[in-house]
Amino acid sequence: MEKKSKKTFYVTTPIYYVNDVPHIGHAYTTIIADTLARYHKMAGREVFFLTGTDEHGQKIEKAAAERGITPLALADAVVGRTRDLWKALNIEPDFFIRTTMAVHEKGVQKLFQALLEKGDIFKGEYKGWYCVSDENFLAEDVPIGTDGVKVCPDCGKKAVIVSEATYFFRLSAYQQQLLDHYASHPQFVRPPSRMNEVSSFVRSGLKDLSITRTTVQWGIPVPGDPAHTIYVWFDALHNYVTGIGYGENENQFKKFWPAQVHLIGKDILRFHAVFWPAFLMASGLPLPECVFGHGWWLKDEAKMSKSRGNVLDPYTIINAFGPDPLRYFLLREIPLGLDGNFSHEGFLHRVNSDLANDFGNLVHRTLTMVQQYFGGTLGEMEDEGADDRAIREMYEKVKASVRSHYESCALNKALEELWTFIGAANKYLADNAPWKLAKDPGRRGRLARVLWTGAAAIRGAGHLAAPVMPGSAVRIWDLVGESVSPQSVLFDDFRFDGLRPGREMKAPLPLFPRVDLKEFLGQEAKPAIPSGEDSAAVPQPNEAKMKTKETPMDIITFEEFKKLDLRVAQVIRAERVEGATKLLKLQINLGTEERQIVAGVAETYAPEDLVGKKITVVANLKPAVIRGVESQGMLLAGIKDGKAVIPFFEGDIPPGSKVQ
């Protein structure tokens, strides 16, 4: 993935346990993989994207026995849930591996046999905590209780120590080789914090690993010793090689192995960054380039109890919004290595602000005006001006930067960067005001140029967004009259100025409908972030309707902070703004002058509440017109549940005093 010259790209997800109901967490990993796969295809690489299901083990065996069917029949019946979810999310793996497939079982046995002959697998005695009721050894990391006994995490009964014959993998022999590999390949485990975790675990000493059980029947039998079943990780991890044809389709296997990235949840890091490379070293196979341990999506318990369904059921969202808003949200909201908190409020904010307001509006306005002013066809245009060139040049810069973020798996940054372009394109339209140009018959050429630039911007943004939002990108390209899918055009081949006058465009359809939280959840809504002009708790300048950057981690210097001229102001008069339920118009005394500001505080304060009060105002903010009323500054307020709470000065401080 690091090497741009690499001609192939192989990405995997963990195989999901078939008995689990797939949730947002599974969806997250698989959406990342699908996005990377789509990106690398558009970058001109030959791509293989593998996902699948882990179908062996005792849970399946027991559940099947309870229903009186075979484990395979049960797996067949439930594997569809996972595949259906991927379909609903527009996830298109190149192959879906099931550990019950012959290609996998044969491959695992072949690898097992070779290591047995080599001596890296040997027969010994396993002693461990055993749950009699579940007929199962407890995992090594189940803690010992205060009475010195381990308790079965599945049934809660006390476990006993049992010995049985087992096959071991000689993990201890690979300790130094693993440490050497980590040292020479610092990108092998990402993010770097996880690498530290892994190498300190290995440094603390590796024990040989029991990889078979006689107590589990439903699995791959040990070749020549069928009383033993190959256990969990030795079976499951090898899907990454059998899934691309190890032992069966050697050409394909050689073409794609080693993988560029194994995407995993951080809970299974040890298996992927310690056991798996050791298995591969033993087999003489090259190691994957990177094991990427992404964070978890946590659910917000408080909000969950209020909602109607299960917050984390992806279908709640897919059914209401389609797949792209969920794909966008999960990738945009957090960097790949960190945990995120999933809330419907956060989700709807992103949908309304980034998708409906920013991107959706850009598409809608542009296409509406092409319809209105040119009957749906791009008109003959005058030469490019400085403004137009700036947008075109910005696109090329943003494209380069978006691509480098896709290359390094920084998907949130890729989207953040793309949205700066969408914001700039919105501002370009606002600045050039085509609706004004349209009134002047002598400026048709200019009008055509502005709308051409708008159309080029949405086509270009659609192209860059395609890996994350494939369905929406296809719709956008269809609207601008493209007969091909954006994903069929390589990044290197895409031209921003590929549209010609005479190109027919379609009338806009709503791409990302704005959704009200209350309607969505059917409950008393408390929008996390107010949206729209008249609900802005603190008014924003009109011309900068693009979203303010929300990067809580952004640090500004003291020099930057000093640019803000914060002053104490005293409210002289206050009145409501007609037609706006949330706005008050305030006349304020700034010491040396009187000014008028508009503030979205009418839901918390009556006009008379504010008269005489001393507040904090940003005095050097560019004036803006809000709901037809000029605002020469902005007051500062806290936001609670979307409503403003203004801090007032109590003491004897004259208007105009500096606030710092």
Contacts with Zn ion by CB under 5 A lie at 131, 133-134, 152, 154-155
In whole angstroms, the minimum distance from the beta carbon of 47 to Zn ion comes to 43
Specify burial of residue 184 (Cβ count, 10 A radius: 0-12, 13-18, 19+). exposed
- Torsion sign (Cα): 648, 654, 655, 656: negative
In whole angstroms, the minimum distance from the beta carbon of 93 to Zn ion comes to 35
Q: How, if at all, do strands 160-169 and 121-131 pair?
A: antiparallel
Query: Within 13 A of 535's CA, how many CA atoms are on the CB side?
Result: 10
Task: For residue 505, give the nearest of 465, 475, 478 by alpha carbon.
Answer: 478
Both tokens of 598, joined, read: 């508009």
Contact yes or no for 363/504 (Cβ under 8 A): no
| 98/213 with CB nearer Zn ion | 213
Q: Which residue is nearest to Zn ion (CB)?
A: 152
Q: Please tell me the distance from the alpha carbon of residue 450 to that of residue 457, in angstroms, as a whole number.
A: 11
In whole angstroms, the minimum distance from the beta carbon of 96 to Zn ion comes to 32
| 42/216 with CB nearer Zn ion | 216
Residues 311-341, buried b or exposed e (16+ Cβ, 10 A)? Answer: bbbbebbbeebbbbbbbbbbbbbbbbbeebe
Q: How, if at all, do strands 624-626 and 629-631 pair?
A: antiparallel
Q: Please tell me the distance from the alpha carbon of residue 31 to that of residue 44, in angstroms, as a whole number.
A: 20
Q: Please tell me the distance from the alpha carbon of residue 576 to that of residue 610, in angstroms, as a whole number.
A: 12
Both tokens of 628, joined, read: 């037809």
Contact yes or no for 272/197 (Cβ under 8 A): no
In whole angstroms, the minimum distance from the beta carbon of 138 to Zn ion comes to 8
Q: What is the DSSP letter of 379?
A: P
Contact yes or no for 461/473 (Cβ under 8 A): no
The C-alpha angle 417, 418, 421, rounded to 5 degrees, equals 100
Torsion of CA 436, 439, 445, 448, to 10 degrees: 60
| 57/600 with CB nearer Zn ion | 57
In whole angstroms, the minimum distance from the beta carbon of 152 to Zn ion comes to 3
In whole angstroms, the minimum distance from the beta carbon of 15 to Zn ion comes to 24
In whole angstroms, the minimum distance from the beta carbon of 155 to Zn ion comes to 3
| 130/292 with CB nearer Zn ion | 130
Q: Please tell me the distance from the alpha carbon of residue 384 to that of residue 448, in angstroms, as a whole number.
A: 11
| 61/120 with CB nearer Zn ion | 61
Q: Please tell me the distance from the alpha carbon of residue 232 to that of residue 303, in angstroms, as a whole number.
A: 36
In whole angstroms, the minimum distance from the beta carbon of 153 to Zn ion comes to 8
- Torsion sign (Cα): 108, 113, 116, 122: positive
In whole angstroms, the minimum distance from the beta carbon of 139 to Zn ion comes to 12
| 137/347 with CB nearer Zn ion | 137
Locate all alpha helices (DSSP H) within 383-481, ordered by sequence: 386-407, 411-432, 434-437, 444-465, 470-479
In whole angstroms, the minimum distance from the beta carbon of 126 to Zn ion comes to 18
| 153/647 with CB nearer Zn ion | 153
In whole angstroms, the minimum distance from the beta carbon of 129 to Zn ion comes to 10
| 50/152 with CB nearer Zn ion | 152
Both tokens of 293, joined, read: 């341990």
Residue 474: how many other CB atoms lie within 10 Å? 18
| 124/153 with CB nearer Zn ion | 153
Specify burial of residue 279 (Cβ count, 10 A radius: 0-12, 13-18, 19+). buried
| 82/136 with CB nearer Zn ion | 136
In whole angstroms, the minimum distance from the beta carbon of 150 to Zn ion comes to 10
- Which long-range contacts (C-beta less than 8 Å, at least 24 apart) are formed by 216-220? 216/56, 216/57, 216/58, 216/61, 216/136, 217/61, 218/56, 218/57, 218/58, 218/60, 218/61, 218/64, 218/71, 219/56, 219/57, 220/56, 220/99, 220/105, 220/108, 220/109
In whole angstroms, the minimum distance from the beta carbon of 164 to Zn ion comes to 17
Rounded to 5 degrees, φ, ψ at 532 are 85, 160
| 17/296 with CB nearer Zn ion | 17
Q: How, if at all, do strands 594-599 and 634-635 pair?
A: unpaired
In whole angstroms, the minimum distance from the beta carbon of 131 to Zn ion comes to 3
| 133/319 with CB nearer Zn ion | 133
In whole angstroms, the minimum distance from the beta carbon of 130 to Zn ion comes to 9
| 133/368 with CB nearer Zn ion | 133
- Give the H or E element holding residue 39: helix 24-42
- Give the H or E element holding residue 342: strand 340-342
In whole angstroms, the minimum distance from the beta carbon of 59 to Zn ion comes to 12
- Give the H or E element holding residue 169: strand 160-169
In whole angstroms, the minimum distance from the beta carbon of 222 to Zn ion comes to 25
| 134/354 with CB nearer Zn ion | 134
- Give the H or E element holding residue 189: strand 189-190
| 152/220 with CB nearer Zn ion | 152
| 58/631 with CB nearer Zn ion | 58
Q: Please tell me the distance from the alpha carbon of residue 565 to that of residue 560, in angstroms, as a whole number.
A: 11
| 137/169 with CB nearer Zn ion | 137
